[in-house]
Chains A and B, each alone.
Chain A
Amino acid sequence: MAESQSLVAHHFSTLEQEHDAETMGMWVFLATEVLFFGGLFSVYTVYRVIFPGAWDAGSRILDLNLGTLNTAVLLGSSLTMALALHAAKLGNRRTMVFFLMVTASLGTLFLGVKGLEYYHKYTEHLLPGLGFQLPNGMPVQVGLFLRMYFVMTALHAFHLFVGVGLVLVLAVFGWRGKFTPLKHSPVELIGLYWHFVDIVWIFLFPLLYLIDRS
């Protein structure tokens, strides 16, 4: 126990207290993020309620194939992140770093696909602010839907970008042997953040892409 005692930060009494506090702290931070994105979801919901037709039409403009692919990619990245944490708990350095790198790669793939979608919208003159032109006959509120789509997915993409950066930092530290079965909180905490970003997309995908394709 003396060895673990020297690992504890000086304002904590035990490693367990430190771990509990850090975990709780990250969950509280994620609660704030739920509300941060929640504000946007609220705006989305209000407008969906009052402009259902425009929301249906707008949803059909989005690329279902790329959206579905991205969803699968992000769900997979959550699996690999969880596997990385599993490896960290067991002290398997190489496995942990491998899964961290796969997680970061999948996240980057998502961002690339998203960029491709944005580019497609730009060439179709559906990127607000850059030669935006709705097809004839579409109500002006479809433009509102597209604005929501871009802001919501861009905010999500920004969070994912930060996440990829953090996971890469974890991989570097992990490779250098900084994490042990006894002390690997950054892997766990950043993992929680990563899963949260995945959950945001889990809601974004059906709400944006799957409104009405019947």
Chain B
Amino acid sequence: MRTPQERAARLLRWYPEAWRNRYGDEFAEFLIADIEERPQSAERALDVARAGLLARLAVAGLAEPHVAWQPDPSRRVQVSLGTLCGALTACLALATAMWSQLAIAWEWTPPGFAAPPTMRATVVMSAAVLAFLVLVVLAVAPVGYAIVRNCHVRMLGPLLVLAAAVGLLAFGGHHFLYQWPGSGGHGEGGTLVPVIPAGMQAFAWSLTYWFSVHWFWLTTGCGGWEIAWIVASPLALVAATAAAATLVRRADLPPWLLAYETRLAAVACAVMGVFLGGCGYWVYVGRPPGLAHAGQIDVAAATLLALALAAAYQAQRTALHGLHLVHS
């Protein structure tokens, strides 16, 4: 049987370190007294777990930008923007993976054979991906400039990781680009290629090789380099995302840039919502067999995309709330 002190210490672990630094001692004392009075209480355990998890969400920049135990509002906005960066990158990776599959099917579907719903969904998803890429450029350019101008020692580590990961993705993406299964197709792609060049489609497919491998493996097999790329590319993507999020959190960003990025993120969330709408429509109507049919992996990817978008939206709202606190 554990002592009340041990049980209080275990319950305290639900909370993040920043919260424990502020309230840990007094909360432990409170819990010990409560446990001595009511030795068994499921309600207490559930309440502490719920509140602890909410505090952890706050540390991740996903909730409660105004509580006393968190750092100053500007820093909290940057924490939310860092999380936003990670969530939107996850959205972009999943969106690119699904869209590049559909683009290949589009390339090989004979003219006039594509189902109208699939065509509409492809157009919506393509437009959303393009618009999102424009927003990425608009978001990254000023932050990159601010980071380069005010670079300090704590940013060197994430900068090196980001450079290495992006370098690996660029090299590998270019190396495997020539295996793109869309080459040689002369179908409906004739209507897509003028808008999105074949090279860009191939690069998007190559970067998301880990997603298409489930069927590509069956048709052509995979050599050692392909397997290495399938393993290395998602790891590089995760490393690049984590490094970018860390840079955003550590950089000295002026208030106007925080406001700009937060508002741009709202547009990015809306654009990704449009993509998700098109994607959901395609998954819903694209079940019959055919080149552009949606499989279980697309359903899973669309679900993950929806979750990542929900996290991005919540981080954007938290950042916006934090901005109001900064300005007030």
Whether both chains belong to one complex is answered with: no
Give residues in A with beta carbon < 8 Å to B: none
Give residues in B with beta carbon < 8 Å to A: none
